């Protein structure tokens, strides 16, 4: 079990990009909101440095354009920069043409900032499903080697035909698919990371990550958002369920994340691929 690596990933987006807020506020109000992404990113960077771990940061292009110094800082610390697209738009709202344009724009921006080839992608809100038969071909066209857009969740009915044969890392054509880890409770799969990490007691997250190793022999893959470490972010009057999901346990995330990094050593996806025979 000790030889299996743990992978840490971060979706670099603003607090107002979260689905619970983005669709509850007028566009003109969203456009006027302050950037706070650096607050959470710096907390994550400090923790990763303190516990000698590395991560993959899936960066939203529109965030990188407004915060170029922050992206350079992440890369300079030895972490991987990957694409989260340019605009925060779910895949199912894209056409093949608009997705290709969005992806290409983000890759050009991020590679220009870092001087590195961008080989990874994660879609907004893990919005990959079986309707998007064109998706992997467009990734390949833009030089993407791996994807992490599939959430193996009981709550995502659209994805169930896709994850019938996927329990961990698999190849779809020439693209490597790396879903976040999940907890298996009989036939039910519950994701690990993000809002689930905030909602679960810490022991349940630990149990799920151990399942990845013991039952599936696949590296645990964790994800988090910078805004989840920013309890002082603005509070909006949004639908009760959305409010619960977005603001739940924000003040506890940093401490739980610290415990996770004490318990486990993490690496980036790029560093993981350097340890396995996958052509990059």
User: Hey, is 1 helix, strand or coil?
Assistant: coil
Predicted pLDDT of residue 156? 55
Predicted pLDDT of residue 32? 87
Predicted pLDDT of residue 280? 42
Nearest to 13 by CA among 53, 78, 48, 57: 57
Predicted pLDDT of residue 212? 81
Q: What is the mean pLDDT of each run of 10 residues along the chain (280 residues)?
A: 79 95 84 93 98 98 97 98 96 95 98 97 90 89 95 58 53 83 83 93 93 75 97 94 95 97 96 71
Predicted pLDDT of residue 279? 43
204, 170 Cβ separation under 8 angstroms: no
Predicted pLDDT of residue 257? 98
Predicted pLDDT of residue 167? 46
- C-alpha 121/C-alpha 126 separation (Å) is 11
Nearest to 6 by CA among 185, 143, 139, 192: 192
91, 84 Cβ separation under 8 angstroms: no
Domain residue limits, the chain? 6-273
Domain boundaries 6-273, corresponding CATH code:
3.20.20.370
β pairing state of 56-59 and 170-172? unpaired
- Opening angle at CA 257, ends 122 and 255, nearest 5: 145
- C-alpha 91/C-alpha 94 separation (Å) is 5
226, 194 Cβ separation under 8 angstroms: no
Predicted pLDDT of residue 169? 62
Query: Concatenated DSSP letters for 155-216?
Result: T-GGGTTGGGS-SS-EEETTEEE-PPPEEEETTEEEE-SHHHHHHS-HHHHHHHHHHHHHTT
């Amino acid at each position: 079990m000790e030889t299996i690596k743990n992978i840490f990933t971060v979706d670099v987006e603003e607090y107002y990009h979260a689905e619970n807020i983005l669709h509850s506020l007028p566009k003109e109000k969203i456009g006027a909101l302050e950037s706070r992404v650096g607050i959470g990113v710096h907390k994550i960077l400090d923790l990763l440095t303190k516990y000698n771990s590395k991560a993959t940061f899936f960066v939203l292009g529109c965030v990188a354009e407004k915060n170029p110094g922050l992206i350079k800082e992440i890369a300079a610390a030895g972490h991987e920069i990957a694409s989260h697209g340019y605009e925060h738009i779910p895949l199912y709202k894209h056409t093949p043409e608009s997705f290709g344009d969005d992806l290409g724009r983000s890759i050009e921006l991020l590679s220009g900032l870092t001087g590195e080839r961008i080989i990874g992608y994660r879609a907004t809100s893990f919005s990959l499903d079986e309707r998007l038969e064109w998706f992997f071909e467009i990734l390949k066209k833009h030089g993407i080697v791996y994807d992490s857009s599939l959430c193996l969740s009981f709550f995502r009915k659209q994805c169930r035909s896709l994850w019938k044969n996927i329990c961990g890392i698999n190849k779809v054509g020439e693209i490597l698919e790396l879903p976040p880890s999940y907890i298996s409770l009989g036939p039910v799969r519950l994701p690990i990371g993000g809002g689930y990490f905030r909602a679960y007691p810490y022991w349940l997250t630990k149990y799920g990550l151990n399942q990845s190793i013991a039952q599936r022999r696949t590296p645990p893959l964790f994800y988090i958002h910078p805004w989840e470490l920013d309890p002082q972010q603005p509070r909006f009057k949004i639908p009760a369920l959305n409010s619960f999901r977005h603001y739940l346990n924000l003040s506890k995330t940093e401490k739980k994340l610290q415990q996770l990094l004490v318990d486990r050593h993490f690496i980036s996806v790029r560093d993981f691929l350097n340890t396995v025979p996958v052509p990059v």
